[in-house]
Amino acid sequence: MHLQVLYPFGMSSLHPAFEQAWTRLIRAERGLVEAIEAELRAGDFPPLAWYDVLLELWRRPNHRLRQSELQSELLLAQYNLSRLVDRLEGAGLVRRESCRQDARSRWVVATPAGLALRETMWPAYAAAIERHVGSKLSAEEAAALAGLLGKLLGR
């Protein structure tokens, strides 16, 4: 096949389509996150990481999750999550509770203020996604993109 002659697979080469997909993946993610977070900041909302925590908690029974579960949901390092939860707790959006079943663990529980913030934040967030993603892809293209990214994620 033609491209394989120009860029044979081997020790140190890479098909250009992979390289381009890789560089664009990084640029698209960073550019869009920056643009969307700037819009949220302009609306006096906290960073997306705060939303992510509140969303995970909101989805669960009793709006609570063990830190270790939050950690694996959000793909965060343990020490990173520990300090993120510190900040949310300091802002009164979550509280920590000790865990009967396993005293090593701690629950992270959304407070009413945390749930209210997530609810207020969602329309602004959705509008920003609509503006930056929805305006550039059709629904079919978005579905195709989600499918390809799913493969990268092993789904």
Partner DNA sequence: AAAGATTGAATACTCAATCTTA
Partner DNA sequence: TAAGATTGAGTATTCAATCTTT
Binding site for a second copy (CB under 8 A): 3, 7, 9, 11-15, 17-22, 24-34, 75, 122-124, 126-127, 129-130, 133-134, 136-137, 139-146, 148-154
- Per partner kind, with CB cut-offs from 5 to 8 A, the member of DNA, a second copy, none near residue 3 is a second copy
- Per partner kind, with CB cut-offs from 5 to 8 A, the member of DNA, a second copy, none near residue 129 is a second copy
Alpha carbon distance 84, 79 (integer Å): 9
Report which of 40, 140, 135, 50 is spatially closest to residue 89, judged by C-alpha positions: 50
Which residue among 52, 55, 58, 105 contacts DNA (CB under 7 A)?
Answer: 105
For residue 70, which amino acid is it?
A: L
Interface with DNA by CB under 7 A: which range of 4-12, 56-64, 72-80, 131-139? 72-80
Minimal distance in Å, beta carbon 31 to DNA?
13
Minimal distance in Å, beta carbon 125 to DNA?
17
Report which of 83, 84, 79, 78 is spatially closest to residue 51, judged by C-alpha positions: 84
- Per partner kind, with CB cut-offs from 5 to 8 A, the member of a second copy, DNA, none near residue 109 is none
Helix 67-74, helix 78-90: angle, nearest 10 = 110
Does 87 bind DNA (CB under 7 A)? Our answer is yes
CA Rg value for the chain = 20
DSSP 46: -
Does 95 bind DNA (CB under 7 A)? Our answer is no
CB 88 within 8 A of CB 50: yes
CB 112 within 8 A of CB 120: no
Interface with DNA by CB under 7 A: which residues?
41, 49, 66-68, 71, 77-87, 96, 99, 102-106
